[in-house]
Amino acid sequence: MRTLATLLLGIAIFLGNGCTTDFDRGYEAYQSGDYEQAASFFRLSAEQGNPVAQNNLAFMYRNGVGVAQDYEAAVKWYRMSAGKGVARAQYKLALMYDEGEGVTQDDQEAVKWYRLSAERGNADAQNNLAITYRKGSAVIQDYEKAVEWYRSSAEQGNVEAASNLALMYYKGEGVAQDYKKSVKWYRSNAKLGNSYAQYNLAFMYYAGKGVKQDYKEAVKWYRLNAAQGHADAQFNLALMYQDGEGVKQDYREAVK
């Protein structure tokens, strides 16, 4: 998740030439680390109807930044911002319905806001909407729609979506089974350090699925994954040392 500072930077550029003084002061206060002052100015701007200030104030209430944590207040401001089309606010409001924070948990409302946000291009919302279609949560299960939304999210760089899309290709859910495409998406994530992708890419090399069987590559990815504390990767790496697959046989290393 992006930090508020990163989010605010994009917002300030979007608003341009200081069209809301209170918002600008809130931004400056946040950047200087004066979160209480930032919340105060964002509130003034939010009360004037600024949807971006409403989103930022909601963020601060949800996370207890500069104000006492208050999920109900967060929902209030996210709802106002979301209703004006701010995709990030729509996504966050969906999360709060999904998790029952400040509202009664409601899968239908969560899906409603995930969809609105996803249609506006929010990658996180696209991934979560895909998950609902894959599981059939509050919607009719539809693997093809799940793949569609996973791909939209993954192409924007969403790591979780890329791994989920890789799994859909591996299982042939919503698409023709394609190990090569599965490897493609696992590899892109594995290079970014994603533990799940590293483990699965190692397995693909070990089993020769979608790539030429290559024990050395399997060892490479199992080792990287094992270093992150993944127990199954550690176990599989030990077996490869024990059997001398991709590495020189080494019982001591296997036991370690």
pLDDT tens, residue by residue, 80-90: 999 999 999 99
Q: What percentage of the chain has pLDDT greater than the value 70? A: 92
Amino acid making up residue 105: Q
Q: Is a pLDDT exceeding 80 seen at residue 9?
A: no
Q: How high is the pLDDT of residue 254?
A: 83
Contact between residue 59 and residue 27 where contact means Cβ atoms under 8 Å apart: no
Q: Is a pLDDT exceeding 50 seen at residue 29?
A: yes
pLDDT tens, residue by residue, 97-125: 999 999 999 999 999 999 999 999 999 99
Q: Is a pLDDT exceeding 80 seen at residue 2?
A: no
pLDDT, mean over the chain: 92
Q: How high is the pLDDT of residue 253?
A: 86
Q: How high is the pLDDT of residue 255?
A: 83
Q: Is a pLDDT exceeding 70 seen at residue 14?
A: no
* pLDDT tier, 131 (very low <50, low <70, confident <90, very high otherwise): very high
Q: Is a pLDDT exceeding 90 seen at residue 1?
A: no
Contact between residue 67 and residue 60 where contact means Cβ atoms under 8 Å apart: yes
Dist CA 77 CA 58 (whole Å): 5
Q: What percentage of the chain has pLDDT greater than the value 90? A: 88
pLDDT tens, residue by residue, 144-195: 999 999 999 999 999 999 999 999 999 999 999 999 999 999 999 999 999 9
Dist CA 56 CA 58 (whole Å): 5
Q: Between residues 4 and 218, which one has the greater pLDDT?
A: 218
Dist CA 181 CA 199 (whole Å): 16
Task: Print the SS3 string covering 157-171.
Answer: CCHHHHHHHHHHHHH
Contact between residue 150 and residue 165 where contact means Cβ atoms under 8 Å apart: yes
Residue 142 Cα to chain centre, angstroms? 21
* pLDDT tier, 227 (very low <50, low <70, confident <90, very high otherwise): very high
Q: How high is the pLDDT of residue 17?
A: 46
Q: How high is the pLDDT of residue 21?
A: 81
* pLDDT tier, 18 (very low <50, low <70, confident <90, very high otherwise): very low
Q: How high is the pLDDT of residue 108?
A: 96
Q: Is a pLDDT exceeding 60 seen at residue 20?
A: no
Dist CA 104 CA 143 (whole Å): 28
Q: Which domains does the chain have, with CATH numbers?
A: 1-85 (1.25.40), 195-256 (1.25.40.10)
DSSP 191: T
Q: How high is the pLDDT of residue 133?
A: 97
